[in-house]
């Protein structure tokens, strides 16, 4: 081991390595490499925690595991494999969740250093808060394909993991999923909802039946708005037979009010009946909403009997194993039947109210979603995908690269040496890139350590947020589960009303159960009320200022804002942006005239050099691309543009949506979801020079 050999490390560092106690959180792709590097470097007191078990797909990049380990605890097997490198090391493994109450602040305080190798945001947020409260340095790392990142988090010195806003998770309007899908991901989300309706935890907003209240299904007036009820009444006599039948069905509840799970039980999970219900009868009902198909291609229902081929049932059993093949519609029907049989058999064996949980690595569950998604895609004339592609999309998977994991883990351990020596200025974040930058570097360090965000709702001295919320529609239970737990990453919050001191939510079981079904407005939680939240386990306190708004249909019922200035009306913000843009134009007028250039109107986003992040439109929330430029590179670009000939593409007739200029880098905004986010490939709203002239430096900030 390196620390056991004199001369490998400086004497002081050698002793620090031998005596330090280190915690590794996560035993996956990065975690295995980190643990191996720590042991080989001479660390002898290590603890590792991971809740996951080893899957066959892990073996191509997690090299501490082998075929015989499949199904076993990752943490325990990683410990056994690492001890083969140094049997004298003391390694403790926990097969448990790091968010468990067994691992509180006092648990973290006993370590000199924590290395995070996690793959989900909730656990990262929790470890970030634990290390801040315990005042233990945290080395955060992550990868996304060929890109990697390592950064130090130290209380009072650097920004924490939650200081900067993370990308919004992509979501879709319910009527798009249920009525008018146009992309493969819409069909995949629908198929996952169907799985939950039949076997999983069923949620109200995951209904898969046609949405009769879809605004697009209603008649439009001259301005393109849905007609009011009185206008529709006047046209009753002009309604078609189909529209009348649709209204009758809606009134009778033939489609919308069916309890899907109970109906499937009553049918004994008959594949033919379920298939016809979801892919024939429901589609026929959608066709009656004629207004939906005036500008869209109408779906084509599929009948179960027409997809059954004779004498091929034996061959069809192997279809599900062909993960890279795009199944035919007949093969999808057969996979649907086989997976339905397996899932229903497992589900019926469960006791009480237990349900199945969808998992991308569960063979029948993944087969069911893949088959249903492809059948629905076929119906709506959407491109079908292979099982492998659907698994990646359904599980939000970015392919893991073993080399990137190894590089990232190596940098993490090298940074740990600097942390032990308290050489903080040498602990700048490092980004691994697929292609070298302008200086021919593919490992790009930050210029400096970013300081804490004074508006961060986690590490600020007096953390507070403004909660923009519809108090007339959101209930106390949803405030706890959706806002406090899922969005703000609390574990067991207690909430009191500041003005009265009354307890709204208690972490003690049953104490405030009577409040759960009540609306916020019923308990006088209205605009301007301040709530005090306390999570004893995380040692975390937060003030929440309520700002009421009336949410529209399919609009998110709440939005978390870390700075009240972000709640200004849109027209005021636009006026402010216009005034500041004019001031910037006046400041730069002298420079433009000196170059002999005429002032021109700016068609797109402001080009002023005030500090603001570059907008990136992305499809998922797994990684965040931020394009930055060095000062040296900027000079090269200025010189190169004088000799560059650029042919502009023809302008389209559609109006561009102006970029929102963020005036203050300290503002942190976390949105629950965005229905307005455009679907399609990622496009950076920034003009680039030809690659032959310059190569802008890209810094990859990975979740």
Residues contributing to the annotated binding site for Zn(2+): 160, 163, 456, 459
Cα–Cα–Cα angle for 206, 208, 210, rounded to 5 degrees: 125
Q: Which residue has the tokens 């999970």?
A: 269
Do the Cβ atoms of 703 and 116 come closer than 8 Å?
no
CA distances from 535 to 103, 160, 532 (A): 14, 18, 10
3-state helix vs strand vs coil in the chain, percent to 5: 40, 15, 45
Q: Is 684 a catalytic residue?
A: no
Are residues 254 and 142 in contact, defined by beta-carbon separation less than 8 angstroms? Answer: no
CB 200 within 8 A of CB 355: yes
Burial degree of 448 (CB within 10 A; 0-12, 13-18, 19+): exposed
- Beta strands (DSSP E) in 271-382 are none
Radius of gyration of the chain (CA): 28
Q: Give alpha helix (H) positions in 439-594.
A: 476-478, 570-594
Tell me how far apart the alpha carbons of residues 587 and 607 are, in angstroms, rounded to a whole number: 12
- Binding-site positions: 26-31, 50, 58-61, 74, 119-124, 160, 163, 456, 459
CA-based torsion, 263, 266, 269, 273: positive or negative: negative
CB 184 within 8 A of CB 393: yes
The 3-state secondary structure of 629-647 reads CCHHHHHHHHHHHCCCCCC
Convert 4-55 into a string of H (helix), E (strand) and C (coil). Answer: HCCCCCCHHHHHHHHHCEEEEECCCHHHHHHHHHHHHHCCCEEEEECCCECC
Please state whether beta strands 113-116 and 138-144 pair in parallel, antiparallel, or not at all (unpaired): parallel
| Coil/strand/helix, residue 500 | coil
CB atoms within 10 A of CB 424: 15
Half-sphere exposure of 20 (CA within 13 A, CB side): 28
Residue 168: count other Cβ atoms within 10 Å of its Cβ: 15
The span from the CA of 643 to the CA of 693, in Å, is 9
CA distances from 466 to 248, 532, 540, 644 (A): 45, 12, 17, 48
Determine the angle formed by the axes of helices 363-379 and 329-348, rounding to 10 degrees: 140
Q: In what order do the strands lie in the sheet with 530-535?
A: 503-505, 493-497, 530-535, 540-548, 464-469, 558-561, 669-670
Q: 131, 175, 372, 533: which is the annotated catalytic residue?
A: 175
Question: Is 360:391 a contact under the CB 8 Å cutoff?
Answer: yes
The 8-class DSSP code of residue 108 comes to H
Residue with tokens 């500090």: 611
CB 396 within 8 A of CB 620: yes
Alpha-carbon span 558 to 473, nearest angstrom: 10
* SS3 assignment, position 469: strand
Cα distance between residue 506 and residue 528, in whole Å: 22
Q: For residues 3 and 9, what is the distance between their CA atoms, to the nearest angstrom?
A: 7
- Residues designated catalytic: 175
């Amino acid at each position: 081991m390196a620390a056991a050999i004199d001369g490998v490390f400086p004497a002081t560092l050698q002793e620090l390595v031998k005596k330090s106690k280190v915690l590794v959180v996560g035993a996956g792709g990065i975690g295995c490499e980190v643990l191996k590097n720590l042991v080989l470097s001479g660390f002898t007191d290590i603890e590792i925690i991971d809740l996951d078990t080893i899957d066959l797909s892990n073996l191509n990049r997690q090299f501490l595991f082998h075929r015989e380990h499949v199904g076993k605890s990752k943490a325990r097997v990683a410990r056994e494999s690492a001890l083969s490198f140094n049997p004298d090391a003391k390694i403790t493994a926990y097969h448990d969740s790091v968010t468990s109450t067994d691992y509180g602040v006092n648990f973290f305080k006993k370590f000199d250093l924590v290395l995070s190798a996690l793959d989900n945001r909730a656990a990262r947020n929790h470890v970030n808060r634990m290390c801040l409260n315990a005042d233990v340095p945290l080395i955060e790392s992550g990868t996304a394909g060929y890109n990697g990142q390592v950064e130090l988090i130290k209380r009072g010195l650097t920004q924490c993991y939650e200081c900067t806003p993370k990308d919004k998770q992509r979501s879709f309007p319910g009527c798009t999923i249920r009525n008018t899908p146009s992309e493969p991901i819409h069909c995949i989300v629908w198929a996952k909802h169907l799985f939950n309706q039949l076997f999983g935890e069923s949620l109200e907003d995951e209904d898969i039946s046609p949405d009769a209240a879809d605004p697009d299904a209603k008649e439009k007036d001259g301005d393109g708005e849905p007609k009011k009820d009185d206008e529709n009444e006047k046209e009753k006599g002009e309604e078609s037979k189909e529209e009348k039948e649709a209204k009758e069905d809606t009134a009778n509840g033939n489609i919308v009010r069916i309890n899907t799970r109970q109906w499937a039980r009553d049918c004994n999970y008959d594949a033919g009946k379920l298939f016809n219900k979801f892919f024939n009868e429901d589609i026929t009902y959608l066709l009656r909403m004629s207004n939906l198909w005036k500008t869209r291609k109408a779906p084509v229902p599929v009948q179960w009997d027409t997809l059954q081929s004779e004498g091929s049932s034996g061959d069809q059993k192997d279809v599900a194993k062909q993960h890279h093949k795009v199944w035919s519609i007949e093969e999808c029907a057969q996979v649907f039947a086989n997976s339905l049989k397996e899932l229903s058999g497992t589900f019926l064996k469960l006791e009480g109210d237990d349900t199945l949980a969808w998992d991308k690595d569960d063979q029948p569950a993944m087969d069911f979603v893949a088959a249903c998604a492809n059948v629905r895609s076929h119906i709506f004339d959407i491109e079908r995908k292979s099982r492998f592609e659907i698994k990646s999309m359904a599980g939000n998977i970015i392919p893991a690269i073993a080399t990137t994991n190894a590089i990232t883990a190596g940098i993490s351990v090298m940074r740990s040496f600097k942390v032990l020596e308290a050489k903080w200025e040498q602990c700048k974040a490092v980004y691994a890139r697929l292609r070298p930058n302008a200086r021919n570097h593919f490992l790009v360090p930050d210029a400096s350590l970013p300081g804490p965000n004074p508006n961060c709702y986690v590490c600020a001295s007096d953390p507070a947020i403004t909660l923009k919320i519809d108090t007339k529609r959101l209930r106390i239970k949803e405030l706890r589960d959706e806002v406090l737990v899922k969005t703000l990453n609390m574990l067991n919050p207690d909430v009191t009303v500041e003005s009265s001191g009354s307890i709204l939510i208690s972490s003690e079981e049953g104490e405030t159960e009577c409040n759960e079904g009540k609306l916020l407005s019923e308990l006088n939680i209205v605009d301007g009320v301040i709530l005090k939240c306390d999570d004893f386990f995380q040692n975390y306190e937060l003030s929440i200022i309520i700002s009421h708004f009336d949410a529209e249909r399919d609009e998110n019922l709440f939005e978390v804002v870390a700075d009240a200035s972000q709640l200004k009306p849109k027209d005021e913000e636009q006026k402010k942006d216009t005034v500041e843009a004019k001031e910037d134009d006046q400041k730069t007028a002298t420079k433009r005239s000196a170059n002999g250039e005429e002032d021109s109107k700016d068609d797109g986003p402001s080009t002023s050099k005030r500090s603001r992040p570059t907008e990136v439109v992305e499809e998922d929330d797994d990684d965040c691309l931020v394009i930055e430029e060095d000062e040296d590179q900027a000079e090269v670009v200025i010189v190169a543009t004088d000799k560059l000939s650029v042919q502009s593409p023809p302008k389209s007739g559609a109006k561009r949506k102006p970029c929102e200029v963020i005036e203050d880098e300290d503002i942190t905004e976390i949105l629950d979801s965005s229905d307005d986010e455009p679907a399609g490939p990622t496009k950076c709203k920034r003009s680039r020079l030809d690659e032959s002239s310059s190569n802008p430096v890209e810094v990859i900030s990975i979740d």
